[in-house]
Amino acid sequence: MKLRLPLFAAATALALVTACTPGTGGGGGGEGDGKSFEFWSFSAINQKLTVDAYQAKHPDIQIKLTEVGTSTETAQSLTTALAGGKVPDLVLIQGDNLPQFVEQPQNFVDLRTLGADDVKGDYLDWVWEQSVAKDGEVLGVPTDVGGMAVAYRTDLFAAAGLPTDRESVSALWPTWDAFIETGKRYKQATGKAFTDNAATSVFYQAVNQVSEKYYSADRKLVYSTNPQVKTAFELGIKAATAGITAGQSSFESAWSAGMAQGQYAAVSAPSWMLNSIRSTAPDTKGKWDIAKIPGSGGNWGGSYLAIPKRAKNPQAAWNYIKEMQSPAGQLEHFTRVGALPSTPSVYKDAKLTDAKDSFFSDAPTGKIYTDSLLALKPFYIGPDSAAIGQEFLNAITNVEQSGGNPATAWDDAVRNIKTAIGE
């Protein structure tokens, strides 16, 4: 019997979640006292600082902050909660997870009913659009965006005879092909890997710089026929087979160890990655700098705040969104934790443009990242975008780390995607 427990546990988990259909548990929402609300956020993003700042200004409001886990775990918990459990009043959803919730707008408060239309103009329009459901319901307010850049080790670049100041380094790689060539120069000079991996540091960046990604503007699947996707994929394969990568998948423990030990010299770094580098390799303080991303601008990451339909205190949650996600609120959040605002009106603010990061050789982070956003071409992100992206990443990792055949990688990826999304 003991050994059969996992099967029962899996069945139990499945059935517990499925036992209740959406909206059946806990009334229609809104019956709370309006003086308190529950907030689910991710761990390790310092959300508490901003919550504390709000409570200092509003001593009569109680916020119960729960750091659920990673962004994926938070989305999983939210799904479970929406299916029949106790929902929070306010929840942070990472951009990659957002489409699956936008497909089911009946689970969330349409923020237009609380006044979202009044603040819409404050945000980058393409970021805002991603949380709008098919009938125009607004499900979330963007809290931050990632932007794009490359973080590199000045000491390792110097040892390889490459320039070290950020302007000259940016000039090394106007295109992704030039980035790969720079990697070969570095490898030749040092014998070491240039970047962490081909999948995230090359393909995932390049594929986010397109004007049309896995879906066309009219929301049809075009991942297998879109030449822009194929070009980005081939860049990834080229990097994987050029021998310039360390073959360390992002966020694995050996990736962290490799970063701390200087196993690779450059890593693609949206603004939120800076925190990750800082905590992963604290001893490398001052040895990093930040250069422009090859190609044009682009974005990786960013999150949204949403209010579930059954929330007990939707108004209190909305008041929080309105105040803390206003342009001024996001600018303040940027100065506290470095998350890049999604409100373009503050991009020229001195607090942002003058912000320098001493860990990264006093790089003007605010300016570098906002520049990458302003050069961005928005595209539609659909319900299967995350699954499609994952299969492409897997195909490149397979070539890089598991000896997969680069010649068949594209066809393999497309076939796996068809299986995965049931097309």
Partner 1 sequence: MTATLTPAPTAALPPPAAPKARGLGERLAPYAYIAPFFVIFGVFGLFPFAFTFYVALFDWNPIGDQVFIGVDNFTRMFGDPRFWNATGNTLSIWVLSTVPQLLLALVLAHVLNHARLRFALFFRMAVLVPYITSVAATAIVFVQLFDRDYGLLNWLLGLVGVEPVDFVQSTWGSHVLIATMVTWRWFGYTTLLYLASLQAVPRSVFEAAAIDGAGSWQRFRHITIPSLRPVIIFTVVTSTIGGLQIFTEPLLIASGAPLTCGAVRQCQTLTLFLYEQGFGQFEFGYGSAIGVALFVMVVAIAAINYLLSTRIKADR
Q: Closer CB to partner 1, residue 277 or residue 373?
A: 277
| Contacts of the segment 329-332: beta carbons below 8 A, 24+ positions apart | 330/143, 330/144, 332/50, 332/53
Using rule CB under 8 A, residue 395 touches partner 1:
yes
Q: How far apart are CA 160 and CA 163, in angstroms?
A: 9
Residues touching partner 1: how many (CB under 8 A)? 55
Q: How far apart are CA 238 and CA 176, in angstroms?
A: 10
Give the x/- contact pattern for partner 1 in 46-85, rule: CB under 8 A: ------------------------------x--xx-xx--
Among 47, 195, 284, 394, binds partner 1 (CB under 8 A): 394
Residues in 78-117 at the binding interface with partner 1, rule: CB under 8 A: 79-80, 82-83, 100-101, 103-104, 107
CA nearest to 49, candidates 282, 319, 339, 395: 339
Q: Closer CB to partner 1, residue 82 or residue 346?
A: 82
158: left (phi > 0), else alpha (psi -120 to 50), else beta?
A: alpha
CA nearest to 243, candidates 198, 210, 286: 198
> Edge-to-edge strand order for the sheet containing 140-145?
62-69, 36-42, 90-94, 302-306, 140-145
Q: How far apart are CA 98 and CA 303, in angstroms?
A: 8
CB 289 within 8 A of CB 360: yes
Residues in 403-422 at the binding interface with partner 1, rule: CB under 8 A: 403-404, 419-420, 422
Residues in 238-257 at the binding interface with partner 1, rule: CB under 8 A: 246-255, 257
Residue 293: how many CA atoms within 13 Å on its side-chain side? 32
Among 51, 328, 375, 387, binds partner 1 (CB under 8 A): 387
Q: Closer CB to partner 1, residue 103 or residue 362?
A: 103
Using rule CB under 8 A, residue 208 touches partner 1:
no
Give the x/- contact pattern for partner 1 in 321-340, rule: CB under 8 A: --------------------
- Under the rule (CB under 8 A), what is the footprint of partner 1? 3-4, 6-8, 10-19, 21-22, 76, 79-80, 82-83, 100-101, 103-104, 107, 199, 246-255, 257-258, 263, 387, 390, 393-395, 397-398, 401-404, 419-420, 422
